[in-house]
């Protein structure tokens, strides 16, 4: 299993090539919860401030302007510090 990949401030062209603006949108208030990914997820943060800590791994900060890929099989804890709004796609 590969780790979480964070691409900071991808270009509009890259986002359009991926079709990001046609993906669904997910929103969540400030909260802390465990999550396990059944399949790969790619998301683009429109708003928010999050720290994701993989089980047995180091915390990773992400938020507005980040394009992030989470691998299938990853178990982690989400700590949403500022409400999240993101485009997402499961592969």
pTM listed for this prediction = 0.94
> What's the first-to-final CA gap in the chain, in angstroms?
15
CA distances from 45 to 1, 86, 89 (A): 23, 4, 12
The predicted-structure confidence for 16-61, as pLDDT tens digits, reads as follows 999 999 999 999 999 999 999 999 999 999 999 999 999 999 999 9
- Within 8 A by CB and 6+ apart from 51, the residues are 59, 60, 61, 62, 78, 79, 81
Q: What residue ranges define each of the domains in the chain, with the CATH number in brackets? A: 5-90 (2.60.120.10)
Confidence of residue 2 (pLDDT cuts 50, 70, 90): low
d(C-alpha 5, C-alpha 62), whole Å? 10
């Amino acid at each position: 299993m590969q780790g979480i990949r964070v691409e900071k401030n991808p270009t509009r062209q890259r986002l359009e090539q991926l079709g990001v603006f046609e993906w669904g949108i997910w929103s969540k208030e400030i909260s802390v919860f465990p999550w396990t990914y059944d399949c790969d997820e790619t998301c683009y943060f429109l708003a928010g401030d999050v720290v994701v800590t993989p089980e047995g791994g180091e915390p990773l900060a992400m938020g507005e302007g980040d394009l992030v890929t989470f691998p299938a099989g990853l178990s982690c804890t989400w700590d949403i510090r500022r409400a999240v709004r993101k485009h997402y796609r499961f592969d």
